[in-house]
Amino acid sequence: MKNLDDTFRSEAKKAAEIMRKGGIILYPTDTIWGIGCDATNEEAVQRIFRLKERADSKSMLVLTDSEAKLQGLMDEVPEMAWDLIELTNKPLTIIYPAAKGVAPSLIAEDGTLGIRVTREPFSTELCRLMRVPVVSTSANKSGQPAAQTYAQIAPEIIEGVDYVVECRRQEKGGQPSAIIRLGTKGEVEVLRQ
């Protein structure tokens, strides 16, 4: 029998292969189950918008596996972000100004992008293998409650993706992340604690 680390690696490798080909996946994250794709692939991003029946004007966040990779997603990482990332003890999504380096429809009309540096083993490995940010949006139709467990995910969501990760299906998920918006002049706005 494979140990947990081997299973995580094998599943992350399969999921990354699907996403590199433009596919979308259902996967466990550092918060709740998410729908994901290569965040630089506009066509894959649009498939997620359609699956979720989500308005294009409502952007989705992305995951990355390291603080170093933030540099490529904006011209300058606000100084406050480093402190927030270092000090947080729970998943934290930061909405950054002047985003770049992802599919255009992920960037909000005001130029912002929500990014979370994940520390959860599976999503970290997935991001490491992809080498680009990974979309992470809740595994539900827009306006419906987020699924806390795999069992709560609607069949049409499961059927609408190209791959469903085998890991952590029996676990109860966490809570959605905290969300903080950073402004270009050092403003900080807490949107969700």
User: Residue 13 is part of a domain; what is its CATH number?
Assistant: 3.90.870.10
Q: Give the pLDDT confidence score for residue 50 in this predicted structure.
A: 95
Cβ burial, residue 89 (10 Å; 0-12/13-18/19+): exposed
pLDDT, averaged across the chain: 90
Q: How far apart are the first and last CA of the chain?
A: 40
* pLDDT tens sequence across 20-47: 999 999 999 888 899 999 999 999 999 9
Inform me whether the pLDDT recorded for 57 exceeds 70. no
Tokens standing for 100? 């770049």
**Dihedral over Cα of 156, 147, 109, 111: its sign:** negative
Q: How buried is 98 (Cβ within 10 angstroms: 0-12 exposed, 13-18 middle, 19+ buried)?
A: middle
Q: What is the pLDDT of residues 58-102, one digit of tens each?
A: 779 999 999 889 988 998 888 889 989 888 888 999 999 999 999
Cβ contact 109:19 at 8 Å: no
The pTM (predicted TM-score) of the whole model is 0.91
User: In this structure, what token pair is assigned to residue 186?
Assistant: 């050092």
Q: How many domains, the chain?
A: 1
Distance CA 100, CA 85 (A): 20
Parent domain of 118: 4-192
pLDDT in tens, 120-143: 888 999 999 999 999 999 999 988
- Rounded CA separation 22/17 (Å): 9
CA angle 181, 106, 190 (to 5 degrees): 15
Nearest to 122 by CA among 65, 47, 183: 65
Tell whether the model's pLDDT for residue 1 goes beyond 90.
Answer: no
Closest CA to 148 of 28, 15, 37: 28
Q: What HEC string does 11-60 produce?
A: HHHHHHHHHHCCCCEEEECCCCEEEECECCCHHHHHHHHHHHCCCCCCCC
Which percentage of the chain shows pLDDT scores above 90?
59
Per-residue pLDDT at 75? 85
